[in-house]
Amino acid sequence: MRDDRVHGESLQYAGESLQYSGESLQYSEGLPLLTYLRVGDPGRPLVVFLPGGGHLARISYGHPDGRPDDFLAHWLAARGFTVLALSYPSDHPALPAAHPELTVDRWGAAAAVLTQRIVTEHQLGAGVILCGWSMAGRSVLPFARTARQVGLDLRCFVSLAASAPLPGLVPVPRAGQPLTTGGLWEAALGQSSTRLDNWYGQISAQAEQGRPIMSREEYVRHYLCRHSVGLRGEAQHWDGQADVHDTEAAIRETGVGQWAEFPICAAIVPEGTQDARHALCDHLTWPAITSYSLGWRLPDATTLSADTWAALTATSRRLSTDLVRFMPGNHFFFLGAAGARRAARHIEELWQAAEDLLLVVSGALTPHEVP
């Protein structure tokens, strides 16, 4: 029996299945990943979901007593997409080990290797849309770099209020985030209930009136976890014995400056004041990364035809429109039936916009240079 007491709440796990329908425990690059797979039309892309801090990827597909249409995976499946949601190692009882030393680059690589394995096993040949929520924005380059190495066809990245891979964008206390004695980030399961209250309040705000998405106890039991602070993509790391701060390591792990290796990056941006940082910044940050990625690949522009150059410049000026969608709501905007349905539609639109952009740039870049 596991008995966790979080802010006075006792969570009993005895007799409870730790893995739910569609879930399995898979290993990749030596790491245990809680894996959810829902196979759709093999002629449509595979959508991969990576979760943010303190959460299992269940936040994208739900728990056994939840309504499926309150979650993103349901609506992506309704559009024919295959959905793969990957949970990083954590202290949640559905996973065997937390790996407090885990870094963001190792996590992104493991996710890409497992994705390629699933693509091969299920003969999915229409490419991959990577969706990252919150902290998962720090994993884009490690995933993309490994995808190239293993032959995974990554078409684009879609930010769901994701933090761009630029250490320092996220406010960090001078002393760092609070860690357990074993080096795990407390997230919402620490000594203070402030973040838990905030997050659950935002989830409740996404629900339709009279139709709660989940109870507070269900949220803590099914979704929340502690994990390596290194997955945050900031300077703070756990070296196996102590809490250390290494900005150069964070830059190296997240790939800052390696713009040529980034995929096309699009963004769904929440409009609510509860997620002000993402609401104010994401519509500029992610298209800018795409612009840098394309610019770093561009050969001598003077060799391009006038028509190609005109198409490129016109496209670049539309990136913050073509590759961005706005949604009402907060950091959990993709929860609740209305939010999940709309987010799924926007993911499809942004994938199509990325495909259009690839057609334009293919006239200016050689095939091996196209992201």
- The whole-number pLDDT of residue 192 equals 65
Selected residue with higher pLDDT from 367 and 251: 251
Global pTM value: 0.93
Instruction: Enumerate domains of the chain plus CATH numbers.
Output: 18-369 (3.40.50.1820)
75-115: pLDDT as tens digits: 999 999 999 999 999 999 999 999 999 999 999 999 999 99
- The mean pLDDT of 343-366, rounded to a whole number, is 88
155-204: pLDDT as tens digits: 999 999 999 998 887 777 778 888 999 999 989 987 667 999 999 999 99
Residue 344 has pLDDT above 90, yes or no: yes
- The mean pLDDT of 58-79, rounded to a whole number, is 97
Residue 367 has pLDDT above 80, yes or no: no
240-272: pLDDT as tens digits: 888 999 999 999 999 999 999 999 999 999 999
In the 3-class helix/strand/coil scheme, how is the chain assigned residue by residue? CCEEEECCEEEECCCCCCCCCCEEEEEECCEEEEEEEECCCCCCCEEEEECCCCECHHHHCCCCCCCHHHCHHHHHHHCCCEEEEEECCCCCCCCCCCCCCCCHHHHHHHHHHHHHHHHHHCCCCCCEEEEEEHHHHHHHHHHHHHHHHHCCCEEEEEEECCCCCCCCCCCCCCCCCCECCCCEECCCCCCCCHHHHHHHHHHHHHCECCECCCCHHHHHHHCECCEEHHHHCCCEEECCCCEEECHHHHHHHHCCCCHHHCCCEEEEEECCHHHHHHHHHHHHHHHHHHHHHHHHHCCCHHHCCHHHHHHHHHHHHCHHHHCEEEECCCCCCCCCHHHHHHHHHHHHHHHHHHHHHHHHHCCCCCHHHCC
